[in-house]
Amino acid sequence: MIQDVRSTGTPFKRLFFALPVGDSQRRALAQWRRSLNLRSGKPVPAANFHVTLLFLGDVDVAQVPAICAAVDKLALPATPARLLLDRLQVWQRANALVLEAQQPPGALLQLVYGLQQALLPLGMEAASRDYRPHLTLARDFRGQPPEAGSAPDFYLAVRHFTLYESRKGAYWPLAQWPLSY
């Protein structure tokens, strides 16, 4: 397998934790996005739809087992998280068209905070900005949010979260943790 290698010769992976989107929801989201008739941006492939929990960036391959072990010990939220993506926004700094949650569930915020805290001892710094759950619909998007024929109203049942590797535009699951309530 070809791996990315730092200038020091150390192999690394580009990693993030995310909530996967099920097949039926992926199709519904893609159909709703088509109805927007986007005139700007590059649509994210529906196969890549996800809700990022924590972006780790470039991580030495040797650290992956320690990351997984830290998450294995994580105290998971005791209540189910049902995420409603209900606001279409343009994130100007990122040039991204996104679906956001107006009211992020407390259990989801607890999970993100727990992940951040579990990885601090491994040298992974917590994000400097507040967590905003979202699903990216298009990148390189410029302008205002397009008019939607129907309001966004997508519920994601949060049953598990996944550690993904981003490789050449595709996301590869490396590990998964169930959220059993």
52-80 residue pLDDT tens: 999 999 999 999 999 999 999 998 887 77
Q: Is 31 helix (H, G, I), strand (E, B) or coil?
A: helix
> Is 4 part of a structural domain of the chain?
no
Tell me the β-bridge partners of 17.
54, 163
143-181 residue pLDDT tens: 999 988 888 889 988 889 999 999 988 999 999 999 865
CATH code assigned at 73: 3.90.1140.10
Instruction: Judge whether residue 83 has pLDDT over 60.
Output: yes
Tokens representing 109 are 């915020």
Q: Is 50 a catalytic residue?
A: yes
Q: Which of 50, 100, 156, 171 is catalytic?
A: 50
Fill in the amino acid letter for 130: D
- Quickly tell me which residue has 């893609």 as its tokens: 30
Whole-number pLDDT of residue 6: 55
> Is 160 part of a structural domain of the chain?
yes
> Is 8 part of a structural domain of the chain?
no
CB 68 within 8 A of CB 118: no
- Quickly tell me which residue has 């309530």 as its tokens: 181
> Is 92 part of a structural domain of the chain?
yes
Nearest CA to 61 out of 21, 102, 15, 30 is that of: 15
The number of folded domains in the chain is 1
Mean local confidence (pLDDT), 5-31 = 87
Q: Is 121 helix (H, G, I), strand (E, B) or coil?
A: helix
90-149 residue pLDDT tens: 999 999 999 999 999 999 999 999 999 999 999 888 767 789 999 999 999 999 999 888
> Is 6 part of a structural domain of the chain?
no
> Is 47 part of a structural domain of the chain?
yes
> Is 49 part of a structural domain of the chain?
yes
Q: Is 134 a catalytic residue?
A: yes
Range of the domain at 55: 13-178
Mean pLDDT over the full length of the chain: 90
> Is 5 part of a structural domain of the chain?
no
Whole-number pLDDT of residue 149: 82
Tokens representing 27 are 């199709």
Q: Which of 13, 26, 33, 134 is catalytic?
A: 134
